[in-house]
Amino acid sequence: MKIHLAPMEGVVDSYMRHLLTEIGGYDACVTEFIRVVDHLLPEKVFDRYCPELKTQGKTSSGTPVIIQLLGSDPSAMADNACRAIELGAPGIDLNFGCPAKCVNKRNGGAFLLQQPEQLFNIIQAVRNAVDEHIPVSAKIRLGYESTDLALDNALAVQSAGANYITVHARTKSDRYKAPARWEWLAEINQILDIPVIGNGDINSVDDFKRYLEISGCEDIMIGRGAVSRPDLARQIQYFHHKKNLYEEMNWNDIKELLIAMAIAMEPNVKGRFIVARIKQWLVMLKREYTEAQMCFDELRRLKQYSELEALLKF
């Protein structure tokens, strides 16, 4: 079983990757997508999205950080994949799942799920451009507005030479509405020879158990569940390996994480943005920790960043 930490724009950045992989349970992380149009991007763009390139493409805990690219030009995608590898990326993931209008109207992300042949062309161009020992993967959804091309797209990913595929079990039109359609993962898994990593609605160990039963897949990618329950990957790993001694993180543990996030950001980010970021995380933590609401309410009253640590230690 492999667990990947999903990219979440504006949420799962290098700070969050550092904290969550320190807790443990992850086999790899994927960056937020880097938008590729028609030219080779400068090194600073890759460094901004993936500061871990300076540490051999890994987080401080040694977890590989895969760079994700989004675009529709096969040649430009291949060139930028090569640059990412030259800079130290341990792998390349190609985004064909983003549902954002600003991306889709420029023929990127989930828009390409309407064109399996172009999906194939992009993946093949990247696969042929980078060394064969470098893993190349693709993340797709079940379709754009329907699931009509779900199997065609999955087969295109495999035929183009991808090492594995990640499938968010919703269409673009579904966006993030529940429930994820895990039964489709079973169909995709049945026709492919490459590993299938399922994504969507895995927010607890119980969810993972149901996912196993319905999808027939073992590998997973978690995003929102990982942020709202920071030790989720470790919980799932303990369950999978039949360990029963794990004590889940309590609210005091979570407060330590919030403090660690603020301290890590302080040298590079203005105080008011750090407070905004902590508030953002608290909103997601409210799903699992009732104390997060009270902390959020207190945080709204802060007048100075210097009060943040004292509040979190309360």
Q: What is the pLDDT along the chain (314 residues), one digit of tens a residue?
A: 999 999 999 999 999 999 999 999 999 999 999 999 999 999 999 999 999 999 999 999 999 999 999 999 999 999 999 999 999 999 999 999 999 888 887 889 999 999 999 999 999 999 999 999 999 999 999 999 999 999 999 999 999 999 999 999 999 999 998 799 999 999 999 999 999 999 999 999 999 999 999 999 999 999 999 999 999 999 999 999 877 667 899 999 999 999 999 999 999 988 888 989 999 999 999 999 999 999 899 888 776 777 777 777 65
In single-letter form, the type of residue at position 311 comes to: L
Four-way CATH pick for 251-312: 1.10.8, 1.10.3470, 1.20.225, 3.40.1800: 1.20.225
Taking the C-alpha atoms of residue 253 and residue 232, their distance in angstroms, rounded to an integer, is 14
Residue extents of the structural domains in the chain: 3-240, 251-312
Active-site hit among 29, 50, 98, 295: 98
What pLDDT does residue 178 have?
76
217 is catalytic: no
Bond from prior residue into 74 cis (ω within 30 degrees of 0): no
Q: Please say whether the beta carbons of 38 and 1 come within 8 A.
A: no
Pair 152, 160: CB distance under 8 Å: no
Domain 3-240 CATH (choose: 3.90.1640.10, 3.30.950.10, 3.40.190.10, 3.20.20.70): 3.20.20.70
pTM: 0.94
CA distance 155 to 288: 38
